[in-house]
Amino acid sequence: MSFPRYEFAVTSCKSRSCGKIAKNAAPDLRQKNLRSEPVLVKPLLGSSKISPTKKMSSSLRTTNGFIPAKVAEGKRWYVEFYCLDPETGRLRRKRVSVPKIKGVTARRRYANDMVININDQLSQGWNPYLSLNNPEEYTLFDDVCEKYYRYLYKLTESDIMRVKTYNGYTSFLNVFRAWNKEQHKPVCYVYQLKSSVVSKFLDWLWLDCGKAARTRDNYLSWLRSFAGWLMEKNFISEDFTANLSAVQGKRKCAKNRTVIPKETMLAIREYCGDRNRHYLLACYVLYYCFIRPKEMSFIRIGDISVKGGTISVRAEYSKNRKDAVVTLPDCVLKLMLDLDVLTCPADWYLFSSGFRPGAEHHPAKHFGDFWTYHLKKDLKLPSEYKFYSLKDTGITDLIKARTDLLSVRDQARHHSLQMTDLYTPLETRTANESIRHHESYF
């Protein structure tokens, strides 16, 4: 299987748009069959060829990072060769004195032996300007990045990593590589990845580009994962993120979610009821069942139990990779019966073409497209109201209805009550009655 070199470029740095990546930065698997191979693109970076200084003859140019040694005889005898200096990115001459030996023939033979020995070491990766215990640390950073892309792609193709995670990790790396390319002294070899470089990159994101603290911390989380992979593959010996900390630390901040008001929700229901009742069913499933759009796109008719009043979510499409059973409220089941979707074949998808049941799978993107280009446009909704906002609104409204948090957690499939509690509006929090009526001797 062949893999591409990934092309990327930096857009103009203007406020929050700083560091955006071209669309062909890496194979986008959002709408690709995971079994299909990415399309090869022409590399923008990543050439392993080393250009010598301009003064050198073109006949001496090499692609191996050095010019072989040769004997220079004169008043003083030397074995001289050129090798890449990582600090300047240019080939630099190195001279080794040939000791004085009685007899020109004997001295020349000794010098030739020195040439053979030095060239042998150079061909094995030795560099006098680079003192490393581990030769892997001398690997070109662009080559390491390509291996990392291949690693992520294989994880995703094997269904070990989610497509969303793959796209996120490759995007993070593309932004870092684009930033690195613009630096005065960019990282050329993987050993040059130091804490100071990473810290400078994170400051650029947060302070110069105006990214949120959470975004900056997300990049740091990815960099820790990247550093772990580099250490596992023996490319580096120390974790360059060990001394870096998250801005927010372990503090959990309130969910930055947009809750749609009741009047707008009623307008959405009326609009969908008139235009497309099958899309209204999709809105109901998201609002009442808290099933994510990607998971919704894979729901089959056979996953719905009328008798049990549940919808099964399969592990291979679930966010947490676990099988789950979600409660199906009566109002959602009634709409399903009115639309006569439950009489379709069990292996049909609930939301296929036109959001009607069908044998063909449609990606989750079509839910958001209808919302953006039709519903939100026709109802003139604010830009912050997204299709996914229905899930956040549903969780918040269920908590407002005094439903116990444990039941809300199970329906939303949160990993902890702490996560569910982040959705609880301040106005719904009530006083503890036992504390409220407590009075002591003081």
pLDDT tens per residue, range 304-333: 999 999 999 988 888 877 888 999 999 999
Say if residue 129 is in the same domain as residue 168: no
pLDDT tens per residue, range 17-38: 444 444 444 555 444 444 333 3
pLDDT for 17 equals 41
Domain end call among 105, 133, 161:
133
pLDDT for 251 equals 54
Look at residue 3 and tell me if it is in a domain: no
Say if residue 23 is in the same domain as residue 76: no
pLDDT for 437 equals 62
pLDDT of 50 over the 50 cut: no
Binned at pLDDT 50, 70 and 90, residue 218 comes out as: very high
Say if residue 79 is in the same domain as residue 151: no
Look at residue 319 and tell me if it is in a domain: yes
Contact 301, 344 (CB under 8 A): yes
Q: Please return the burial class of 83, using the count of CB atoms within 10 Å of its CB with bins 0-12, 13-18 and 19+.
A: buried
pLDDT of 170 over the 60 cut: yes
**For range 398-426, the mean pLDDT:** 78
**For range 95-115, the mean pLDDT:** 90
pLDDT for 192 equals 86
> Does an H or E element contain 68, and which?
strand 66-72
Tell me how far apart the alpha carbons of residues 377 and 381 are, in angstroms, rounded to a whole number.
Answer: 7
Say if residue 418 is in the same domain as residue 278: yes
The percent of residues in the chain predicted with pLDDT above 70, rounded, is: 76
Look at residue 442 and tell me if it is in a domain: no
Say if residue 415 is in the same domain as residue 350: yes
**For range 191-215, the mean pLDDT:** 92
Look at residue 249 and tell me if it is in a domain: no
Structure-model confidence comparison of residues 35 and 200, the more confident one: 200
Mean pLDDT over the full length of the chain: 80
- Which residue range forms the structural domain that includes residue 71? 58-133
Tell me how far apart the alpha carbons of residues 111 and 286 are, in angstroms, rounded to a whole number.
Answer: 78
pLDDT for 355 equals 95
- In 248-381, the DSSP E strands lie at 304-305, 310-313, 324-327
Residue 140 backbone dihedrals phi, psi, to 5 degrees = -60, 135
pLDDT for 387 equals 93
**For range 351-367, the mean pLDDT:** 93
Say if residue 108 is in the same domain as residue 144: no
| Residue among 387, 390, 370 at smallest CA distance from 290 | 390
Residue 173 backbone dihedrals phi, psi, to 5 degrees = -65, -40
Tell me how far apart the alpha carbons of residues 225 and 206 are, in angstroms, rounded to a whole number.
Answer: 20
Say if residue 405 is in the same domain as residue 297: yes
pLDDT of 356 over the 90 cut: yes
pLDDT of 129 over the 90 cut: no
pLDDT tens per residue, range 271-297: 999 999 999 999 999 999 999 999 999
Q: Which range, of 331-345, 348-362, 416-430, averages the lowest pLDDT?
A: 416-430
Domain end call among 117, 133, 149:
133
Say if residue 365 is in the same domain as residue 292: yes
pLDDT for 20 equals 43
Look at residue 246 and tell me if it is in a domain: no
Structure-model confidence comparison of residues 188 and 166, the more confident one: 166
Look at residue 157 and tell me if it is in a domain: yes
Binned at pLDDT 50, 70 and 90, residue 10 comes out as: very low
Say if residue 292 is in the same domain as residue 344: yes
Look at residue 240 and tell me if it is in a domain: no
Residue with tokens 């074995």: 79
pLDDT of 302 over the 60 cut: yes
**For range 366-383, the mean pLDDT:** 93
Contact 93, 80 (CB under 8 A): yes
- What total number of domains does the chain contain? 3
Say if residue 341 is in the same domain as residue 325: yes
Say if residue 381 is in the same domain as residue 354: yes
Residue 37 backbone dihedrals phi, psi, to 5 degrees = -90, 150
Look at residue 402 and tell me if it is in a domain: yes
Domain end call among 111, 133, 155:
133
pLDDT for 441 equals 64
Say if residue 373 is in the same domain as residue 300: yes
CATH number at residue 310: 1.10.443.10
